[in-house]
Amino acid sequence: PPVTTARALLLIADTGGGHRACAEALREELEYGDRMTGIIVDPLTGPGVSPPVRWLFRRYGPLVRVAPALWALLFHATNHSLVRPVVEALITRAVRRPLADAIDRHRPEVVVVLHPLLVAPAARHRHGRVITVITDIGNPHRTWWHRSVDEYVTPRPGLPRHLMNQRGTREHVFGLPVRRQFVASSAVPDRSQLGLSPERFVVLINGGGEGVRGTGRWARALVRGKADVDVIVICGRNERLRGRLSRLEPRPGRQLLVTGFVDDIATWMRTADVLVAKAGPGIIAEAAALGLPLLLAGSLPGQEAGNSEAVVRGGAGIRVSSTRDLLARVTQLSARPDLLLALHLAALRSGRPTAGALTADLITNPKENP
């Protein structure tokens, strides 16, 4: 058991997979060497939150899978400067009980916020220091920025001017924390244990924690297409997709592996030569930590706008615009080790595998403000 009693409350929502993955990365770093205990709490979809708000947040998965345009509408409407205070007030009220319960129960020294809509409630029900870790890259929602936050950890600079000029608020551009499975082990898994050929090119497909729309289309195109590749699909929490893809018949001699949500995704990523994914910030940071080349086949409207461009600019991935384009790129990469190596090196250069350790340092050691 940890020898220290100092605690950090890590606030997330189980929408997508990125917020929880980042919180787990921080918990691992905090508890490594028993520096602090990390407690992950989801006040938005868990018990105690007011029913309409919980209902809404529990529908995030189906919403981004079935109607991403409607999600885009919600994102942009709530991102307006006039609407923002209303949204913040509503959510602050809705999560008052679960947040107060968590604070009373754990008496944390630090509250770390990893979801934009929990920043205002954490600032309002302030207990100890408040640190916000931004889990978005391209287009963070404006509710991330709040004047009562002490420290910001961000994947790229973005602190608005009014906060920059305010005494006490600081921004640390550490990158997006990734779990230790992406940092600590470098062993390459044995493909034959998964029934995969050691020689054939392996394509891994993932549409985020929710298995967004498009994932099935990318998988079917590759499984039925001419490229001589083995395919692994990680469907996340999308059980329907998993069921449908499990019935696909690959061409003779080729392999298809389909799984639901996996906790050891780094092992699956180390097995693959290339990753086909939506431009989620979590998977982008993880692929970079491993040096795994990315083919970006889609992105969520709203917070993920601009993510693909950032990856392409860094040389760590290629954006594909259609399933035809996807097939052409996979065929090209499987025949061009030089191109694959260039992507691999650029991905490693853009990776920030120490982001978690640096953020844990900040959480455990309060720094004097200049």
The footprint of ligand UDP (CB under 6 A) covers 16-18, 21, 206, 208-210, 234, 236, 261-262, 265, 280-283, 286
| Nearest residue (beta carbon) to ligand UDP | 280
**Minimum CB distance to ligand UDP smaller for 216 or for 282:** 282
Strand-pair partners of 206: 234, 277
**Minimum CB distance to ligand UDP smaller for 21 or for 330:** 21
Residue with tokens 């100890």: 128
**Minimum CB distance to ligand UDP smaller for 43 or for 211:** 211
Q: Write down the least CB distance from residue 340 to ligand UDP, Å.
A: 21
Q: Write down the least CB distance from residue 344 to ligand UDP, Å.
A: 19
* CA-to-CA dists, residue 105 to 13, 121, 268, 303, angstroms: 19, 17, 37, 33
- Residue 344: CB atoms within 10 A of its CB come to 18
**Minimum CB distance to ligand UDP smaller for 94 or for 205:** 205
Where on the phi/psi map is residue 51: left (φ > 0), alpha (ψ -120 to 50), or beta?
A: alpha
CA distance 278 to 215: 8
Q: Write down the least CB distance from residue 268 to ligand UDP, Å.
A: 8
CA distance 280 to 283: 6
**Minimum CB distance to ligand UDP smaller for 223 or for 283:** 283
Q: Write down the least CB distance from residue 119 to ligand UDP, Å.
A: 17
Contact criterion met (CB below 8 Å) for 58 and 12 = no
**Minimum CB distance to ligand UDP smaller for 234 or for 310:** 234
Nearest to 151 by CA among 126, 132, 177, 128: 132
Q: Write down the least CB distance from residue 60 to ligand UDP, Å.
A: 9
Q: Write down the least CB distance from residue 182 to ligand UDP, Å.
A: 9
